[in-house]
Structure 1
């Protein structure tokens, strides 16, 4: 019995120590943040009500602005190319991508699409010149566009056919990732699949079947992939919400002890240390995804990892941005 009590106390102390590492950097702005990006000590964030936030001192101080003419729009994703340059994405029709090269003082429209079916979900860049944006089906094809000039212009490319009730989620801007210079995408809804290009498509052994279920986020560390999702209308449901692939998406396994519910974003510090977040909190693994430990019950939508500093930046409701520093390798 004594040994059991000591083990319980150790677990409680460990959980408490982990939660203390989650530091709130800013909160209170009237925006639900889903876009987060970092370049060295400069942090950018984007969200609802047309807000973009920027910090040049690793989060100690912040400047918040509503982009003129877009005060009612929802910037669901942001891609940071350097401390001065970023792109933000307006999701619904008319869909826009805006770019700034002067610290967010001015923004230029670099993409516009007024198709009533248009709904953008995520952006990702392979380097400062080449990037992709994906969106929900248009004429039964998943929407994909590419830039090769740093986001100054975008060209639609053929997308794979969508299944009935299949789409992408714009919960965190992370259902698209560049792995080995190629885009990987995960869909959700009635059907949940992974797309490695337009020809290699695999059904995911993840929760699916309704419009609120399926994959929300994919991240890569070499050949190791993790996919997070679930049901955002039942955020405490824990079954079949996270997948691990050790072979680049050819096969999948589920964790032994998974996160505590629906997760909208996942990201790696290293091969073993990963972090994931959702509507009911934040979890971390130190063993490659097999076992997850709660580090916070606060809701967050998205994650960006600054690997040189081993720091995760999380963005969520109420203009909240937090950082979490890990000592894991």
Structure 2
């Protein structure tokens, strides 16, 4: 019975994913009433801070991390948000959160020197423990990502010419700086973007991918051994300026990924704001019809081979063909997006904006 229930639930969720994709592209027949497209439903977060950190646990549970040391959590689908901010963190800028469930989560604060910190909670945010504080004034941590509940990485902008990688094997309770020998040299002015918590992502139990910008080429770095060794690949996204590059990555398996970004300045165009890879990030091809403007976040719709979302200050775009073509489905401003296996897709951004995707 247990296996039957799990199989039935997986089929239902898969059909839901397919329906979301189909609803956005298939017109109603003449004798049918118009079918609503999937859409963002705004939730009242009760605050006006900017949330660039987001972790979707499910349709009911999600975590937000943002400015002024703010961490929020919902367990009722966004109807209510509990402020679970760490005490004394008002001066910190949280840009990433990775939650394992409603009680266990890790947050990353960014900034130069000791402003970069990692904190963990095991009781839903009632208490927090600082598990890492950067003491190198040259380091600036941007993003973190987990392979599973125990193993994870965090990345800093280059120190002594190479990106610095932190590693944990106990769920973020302790961290170790990995040797720099396996990291390629950084380009001049190359860095990561702490825009959505998605400049570092994982795919499977050992693969990690790092997005960069600011250098002559916008690159994606790949590791197949949990951060010990990396290779770099150029992408066709805008580059050659501190405001340009790859801002977010999303992989639906080890091979198939999308990269989004561009130029974050509102007065600059981003004609090649997305690219796709079918070989684990070794090569990248510009989307035939990319999003119309800079995008800072991306997520695959669960259980779908072709549907994904990209978000940015000027809207949300949907692809149903694996990132080759995109079309705008919403014009609201969001910085990041994340989806859980049960089709709980969430987005968040400026002025306390948070929304859940509704079919």
SS of residue matched to 1:189: coil
In the TM superposition, 1:111-130 aligns within 5 A as 111-130=132-151
Over 3 Å counting, the alpha-carbon distance change for 1:184 and 1:259 in structure 2 is same
Q: Does 1:285 align with 2:319?
A: yes
Q: Does 1:322 align with 2:355?
A: yes
Which one is further off, 317-326 or 149-158?
317-326
Q: For 1:291 and 1:78, how far apart are their aligned partners in 2?
A: 29
Question: What are the superposed Cα offsets for residues 106-143 of structure 1, whole Å, 9 maximum, x if unpaired?
Answer: 11110011222221111111110000001111222211
Displacement of 1:16 = 10
What TM-score results when the alignment is normalised by the length of structure 2?
A: 0.83
Q: Does 1:233 align with 2:265?
A: yes
Return the match for 1:68 from 63, 82, 87: 87
Q: For 2:266 and 2:352, how far apart are their aligned partners in 1?
A: 23
In the TM superposition, 1:174-253 aligns within 5 A as 174-180=198-204, 181-190=206-215, 191-197=217-223, 198-222=229-253, 223-234=255-266, 237-253=269-285
Partner of 1:313: 346
In the TM superposition, 1:102-181 aligns within 5 A as 102-159=123-180, 160=183, 161-180=185-204, 181=206
Aligned 8 A contact 1:236 1:280 in 2: no
Q: For 1:31 and 1:21, how far apart are their aligned partners in 2?
A: 23
Aligned 8 A contact 1:177 1:218 in 2: yes
Aligned 8 A contact 2:235 2:285 in 1: no
In the TM superposition, 1:86-97 aligns within 5 A as 86-92=105-111, 93-94=113-114, 95-97=116-118
Aligned 8 A contact 2:237 2:286 in 1: no
Question: What are the superposed Cα offsets for residues 58-94 of structure 1, whole Å, 9 maximum, x if unpaired?
Answer: 2121112442111121100001022101111110121
Q: Does 1:43 align with 2:68?
A: no
Q: Return 5+ residue gaps in structure 2 as ranges.
A: 1-26, 29-33, 224-228
Write 1 or 2 for the structure with the bigger share of strand.
Answer: 1
Over 3 Å counting, the alpha-carbon distance change for 1:240 and 1:234 in structure 2 is same
Displacement of 1:24 = 0.3
SS of residue matched to 2:157: strand
